[in-house]
Chains A and B, each alone.
Chain A
Amino acid sequence: MTRHQKEIIIKNVFFILSLVSILILGLIVVFLFREGLPLFREVSLRDFIFGMEWYPTYSPPSYGIWPLIVGSLIVTILSSLIAVPLGVLAAVYISEIAPPAIKEVLKAIIELLAGLPSVVLGFFGMVIIAPWLQETFDLPTGLNIVNASVILAIMAVPTISSISEDALYAVPNEFKEASYALGATKFETITRIIIPSALSGISTAVILGMARAIGETMVVLMVAGGAAALPESIFDSVRPMPASIAAEMGEAPFRSGHYHALFATGIVLFLMTLAFNLIADYISQKFKEVGSATL
């Protein structure tokens, strides 16, 4: 066998392997749609998305998921408000300010945080944070939006900080040197040169962190409280979409309206995370630095 033939074989093996993963993903999507779309023979898309009532087991059933969508969005947004400053600033500290010893320790700890199973965090939220929130603020319930957002933020910080750190690290040294040569302080260099140069990478990090939060299931099932109603304050309970799917799928009769409605909820969730990923992709392509600043 010549080297050229080997080369071709290896190339094809890798091509087939990558094809398999795409195929699997494609089949999952096909399955998701095949099980979800039959719902729309029973209810209109509008009543499904904007319906205010989720009573899938009554007769007649109502399959409105607007309160679930709002629940998902609100915990995602609130958790981002907590996680983005923490994650980005931690990345800035690790990549630009921290001495090498501290840097190594911090990176290890953040990676450890990423490795914590979500059920452990959920349990922590349920038995530690919930009673504490309830006693401290004298609330009717500690299983609420704030609790879920805090836990989701803890989960999103590692994603945001490690991707942001990569982006900051990729800012070429020439930029910093030029900045210092012009007499800028370290603070000015970080805020005016390094962060703006790495902005597309940081934005990607933020969006991927949000995608992580919106799809997370165990935590919201355990600590969001699970009320399928529009929240009136951030201390109300909500039922994000993944929680509803996880709690009800096990006992929804096979191919019943309820079953299809849960799959259709899955489609909505899938389209949302897809949108997040497309936005992240778009930002990193569009604002790609060229020349030596390529990230």
Chain B
Amino acid sequence: MGTIFRILACGMLCLLIAAPAALAGGSMVIKGSTTLLPVAQAASEAYMKLHKDVNISLSGGGSGDGIKALIDKSTDIANSSREMKKQETDLAKSKGVNPVAHIVAIDAIVPIVNPRNKVKDLSTDQLSQIYQGKIKNWKEVGGEDLAIVVISRDSSSGTYESWGQLVLNGAKVTSRAQLQASNGAIVQAISKNRYAIGYIGIGYLNKSVQALTVNGIQASAKTALSKEYPVARPLYMYTNGAPKGDAEGFIKFLLSKKGQEIVKKEGFVPVK
């Protein structure tokens, strides 16, 4: 339901972008990470409302695609949920592109359980074993003698991808894991199920579920920023050289108070 709405919204956005593009100049391309896509989309809409002469063409495709486009000079801003790899920077340099990173938001993912669950803390290793289906009972990690119901996101979600990298190091999530199509649906399922464990973006936490500490550290904007909290990562926007023109305006807008409010609203940790 959400996806259909998003497709419609994208389609309408395309029309909005395409129609005036023929008339005015001042267009900018943003491409890359699907994790950053909702932030980039909300920020683009707000930015275009402020600057009526600017047209932003936004697409996802993943961090790798965004960086590739930056190296080919086919995008002004590349969104990336990871730092550029060495071979990517080398390739960029050889093509005369000088990538500059801007951290615009922090993605912190929090494991959650039902409030009736006695477990309050898990290590990253325990989380990894649970999600690979190797730890199957709460008593193995200091809880009651209950089976663990693993709840995960659909495999296309950015949160799923981050979780897979930061906690599982690329190992496969057990096929017995239940699938929920949104952060909200995971909260709903966990709040009703004392067997279950799930993970959500920090912005979706509420009182109906219990957030676990990871390696004894509580997820918060502060611990995510200081990198103490392990399941967090900065989200980048790359530009070729210091940003100029609309790209500069856009990144400044995103880092402003208003832009960071959008970051918070989309469920990420603001950097300021």
List residues of A whose CB falls within 8 A of some B CB: 53-58, 67, 119, 126-127, 130-131, 134, 140-143, 218, 221, 225-229, 237, 239, 243, 246-253, 258
Contact = CB atoms under 8 A, between A and B. Distances in A.
Nearest to B160: A57
Given A55-B172, A131-B192, 12 more contacts: A54-B175, A57-B160, A119-B1, A140-B196, A141-B178, A227-B176, A248-B156, A251-B3, A251-B60, A251-B154, A251-B157, A252-B156
B195 interface: yes
Given A126-B188, A143-B178, A250 B195 contact: no
A67 B174 CA distance: 13
A239 B61 contact: no
A134 B190 CA distance: 13
B91 interface: no
Interface residues of B, number: 35
Contacts of B61: 253
Interface of B: 1-4, 6-7, 34, 60-62, 146-147, 149, 154-157, 160-161, 170, 172, 174-181, 188-189, 192-193, 195-196
Contacts of A228: 175, 179
Contact of B149 (A53, A57, A126, A140): A140
A134 B192 contact: yes
A131 B114 CA distance: 13
Most chain A CB inside 10 Å of its own CB: which residue of B60, B147, B179, B195: B179
Nearest to A58: B172
B178 A56 contact: no
Contacts, number: 86
Contact of B192 (A55, A67, A130, A218): A130
A251 B156 contact: yes
Contact of B179 (A218, A226, A250): A226
A57 B175 contact: no
B192 A237 contact: no
A189 B81 CA distance: 72
Contacts of A248: 154-156
Contacts of B160: 57
A258 B62 CA distance: 14
Contact of B180 (A130, A142, A226): A226
Contacts of A142: 192-193
A234 to B, nearest CB: 15
Contact of A140 (B62, B177, B192, B195): B195
Q: Which 4 A-B pairs have the closest CB atoms?
A: A250-B3, A226-B179, A251-B156, A229-B175
A141 B149 contact: yes
18 contacts: A56-B155, A57-B156, A57-B160, A127-B192, A140-B147, A140-B196, A141-B149, A141-B193, A218-B1, A221-B181, A226-B154, A226-B179, A227-B176, A246-B181, A248-B154, A248-B155, A250-B6, A253-B62
Contacts of A226: 154, 178-180
Given A227-B179, A250-B3, A251-B34, A140 B146 contact: yes
